[in-house]
Amino acid sequence: MKTKPGLSKTHILTMAASAMFTGLSLLGSTAAFAQVKIGTNPTTINPANNLEVESSTTGRKVTIDKTTSKVTIADGTQGDGYILTSDPSGEASWKKQKITSTYTFQQPAGILLNLPNGAGCNMLSCATDLNRNGSFTITNAVNDIVFDIAGFYSVGNNSVALLFNFYLAVDLVTPGVFVAVDGFGVSHSGISCSAGTANFKSILKNLPPRTYNVKVYASAFTNTGTAAKLGIGSEAYAGCGINDYNKQNLIISVSQ
């Protein structure tokens, strides 16, 4: 009686190796294109994503794009230009990033003011417009505006120390209608012919979105001596001071 020869050991090992290779190939192919979904609707995933972690709130999820590997975190606080920040416990959320823009406006010509003997002006209505004008636009309700007013002045003919005022005016409520939002006084002790600088800063916060206009004014406050002259970006009189109106600046920085 004939017996059917069995498979040789070499043949068996060859078949096992082939099966293992085929299995690993299939496993590798599956892993290369695997998608993972965690959370709500675990069987539904965007074909463009490798990973999705979805909350029970519709539209809130973390995803990883399979082509670009970019991570998207959509938790309801995201927005254009926002940055991801953390609270003290490590919980993250998107916050609006403040961007600061700075604008410089120059006085186009010097201004000469008369400072008569006696009490002067202490309000915007009787002050002199220095023609140092500017504007800015607010697009976000959360904002900070810093005004920096800087420049030289010269005083002539005075026999005593003088006091004069600068005013910052903005059309806060009605466009084109200016109200004083800040001011500062200058006490000048020089006699006859002398010069100085007038620099001050002012801050406004959270103005409603729109375009605002700005003006700078000056006025005499007190002169107990002889009538005098005040030149802002201009000589108080010929030979007293310098005509440097190009250095008379209104600088506006807007962060929003």
Q: Read off the pLDDT of residues 31-70 as tens digits, 9 standing for 90 and up.
A: 445 888 888 888 888 899 988 898 888 888 888 888 888 8
Tell whether 4 is covered by a domain.
Answer: no
Give residue 55's domain range.
32-96
Do residue 56 and residue 137 come from a single domain?
no
Domain boundary among 44, 70, 96: 96
Indicate which CATH number applies to the domain containing 209: 2.60.120.1340
Do residue 132 and residue 50 come from a single domain?
no
pTM (2 decimals)? Answer: 0.70
CB of 169 closer than 8 Å to CB of 181: yes
Do residue 109 and residue 63 come from a single domain?
no
Tell whether 36 is covered by a domain.
Answer: yes
Integer Cα distance of 57 and 39 in angstroms? 11
Tell whether 140 is covered by a domain.
Answer: yes
Q: Between vectors from CA 32 to CA 27 and to CA 38, what angle results, nearest 5°? A: 100
Domain boundary among 43, 74, 96: 96
Do residue 108 and residue 235 come from a single domain?
yes
Structural domains counted in the chain: 2
Q: pLDDT tens across 100-118, in order? A: 999 999 999 999 999 999 8
Three-class DSSP category at 94: strand
Integer Cα distance of 218 and 213 in angstroms? 17
Integer Cα distance of 132 and 102 in angstroms? 16
